[in-house]
Chain A
Amino acid sequence: MHRTGELYGQFKTLDQQKETAALGMWVFLVTEVLFFGGMFMTYTINRHAYQAAFGVGGNTLDLQLGGFNTVVLIMSSLTMALSVWAAQVGKRQLISLMLVATLVLGGIFLGVKAIEYKQKYDHHLIPGHSFDITYCSKNPTACGIDEKKVEEEKVELEKALAKDPDLNAHAQLYFSLYFGMTGLHALHMVVGAGLLLWLLKESFARRFTPEYNTPVEIVGLYWHFVDIVWIYLFPLLYLIDRHN
C-alpha cells in the first residue's frame, strides 16, 4: 500500500492523483445517496398512507435529545472540515486535535442515540409483540410524564385512533422505519469512527503534509455525507407533526 503520497505511474501530477481519489469517493457517495434514497422513499410513501400513526409516532421522540444531536453532528462536521484545513496548511498538531474532537463528538452522538433507543425500549415502542403506542398514556409514572401532559397525549391518541383504528400496527411501521433509518445512519457513524481512528494513527505518525493529505480529505467527504443524511432524518422523523 502506498500511503506516503508518491506519484503512481498512471498519473501525471499529484494534483491529478488526488482529484482522482476524491472523484472515486464521490462515486461511492452517489451509490450511498441512492441507497438512502430508497429508504426515504419507503418512509415517504408509508407516511403518506398512515399520516395519523406516523404523526403520533414522531411526537413520541425526544426533541431535546434529537436537537442536541443535530447540533453535535454539525459541530463534528465543522471540526472535520478544520482538520482538512489543518492538513492543507501543514499544522500537524491541529490535524490530530480536530480529528480527536470529531471522534469525541461522533461518540457523543452515538451515546445520545443509545439513550433514545433505551427510552423507546422502556416505553414499549420497539416493534414486536409487546409494542403498545398507548403505553405511556396508561402508565405515566413509568414514562415519567406529568398529569397535564398525559391528558394532552390521551386527546392526541384518541384523535389518531378515530382516523386510524389500526393505529398500533401502523405506529409499528413508523418505528420499524425509525430504527431502520437511524440504525443504518448510526452504523455509518461507527464506520466513520473507525476511519477516524485510522486517520489519527496516521496523523500521529506524521504522514499528512500540505503535499499529501488525501485520506483526511476523503474521510472528510464521507463524514460530511453522514451529516447530510442526518440533516434530512431529523426533520422527517422528529418534526413532521409537531404543529398538531
Chain B
Amino acid sequence: MSEHIVSPKIYLAIFFTLMAGTALTVWAAYQNFGAFNIVIALGIATFKATLVVLYFMHARYSPKRTQLVVICAVFWLAIMLALTLSDYSTREHEGRLAAPSTPRSLLV
C-alpha cells in the first residue's frame, strides 16, 4: 500500500496541542475581552478542529479530491451561515422576537 502512515509521535503531539488549546480556551473564558470573548473562543475551537481534520482524519495526506470535499463542506457552511446571518442582522425586528418580521412592503 502506498498510503501515508501517520506516526504515533505526531498523534501524541496533536493530542497535547489539543489539550493545551482546551486549557487556553477555559482560561480565556474567564478574562474580560468584551465582544472578543466569543471570537477568541471560536478561534481556538477552529484551530483545534483544523488539527483534528488535518492529522487525526488524515486530510493533509489524503488525495486532492478528498481535500476538495472537505473544503467544500466548510465553504457551503460558510455560505449558509453568512447569508442567514446577514438576513437576520439587516431586517427590522419586532420587539423581543428573534424571528425577523415580515417586510413592510409586503403588508401594504
Contacts and interface: CB of A to CB of B under 8 A. Distances in A.
Nearest to A238: B29
A236 B29 CA distance: 10
Chain B interface residue number, banded: 35 or more
A44 interface: yes
Chain A interface residue number, banded: 35 or more
Contacts of A38: 80
A96 interface: no
The 6 closest A-B pairs by CB, nearest first: A239-B29, A49-B98, A235-B41, A30-B73, A242-B29, A78-B15
A235 B25 contact: yes
A15 interface: yes
Contact of B66 (A26, A232, A243): A26
Contact of A243 (B12, B29, B56): B29
Given A63-B26, A235-B29, A235-B42, A33 B11 contact: no
B105 interface: no
A45 B88 contact: yes
A37 B41 contact: no
A228 interface: yes
Interface in A12-61: 14-15, 18-19, 22-23, 26-27, 29-30, 33-34, 37-38, 40-41, 44-46, 49-50
Interface string B52-80: 11011110001101100110111011001
A37 B38 CA distance: 17
B46 to A, nearest CB: 8
Interface of B: 1-3, 5-8, 11-12, 14-15, 18-19, 22, 25-26, 29-33, 37-38, 41-42, 44-45, 48-49, 52-53, 55-58, 62-63, 65-66, 69-70, 72-74, 76-77, 80-81, 84-85, 88, 93, 96, 98
21 contacts: A15-B2, A18-B3, A26-B66, A30-B76, A33-B77, A34-B73, A34-B80, A37-B80, A49-B98, A50-B98, A63-B26, A71-B19, A75-B15, A77-B56, A78-B14, A210-B1, A217-B58, A227-B52, A234-B22, A236-B41, A239-B26
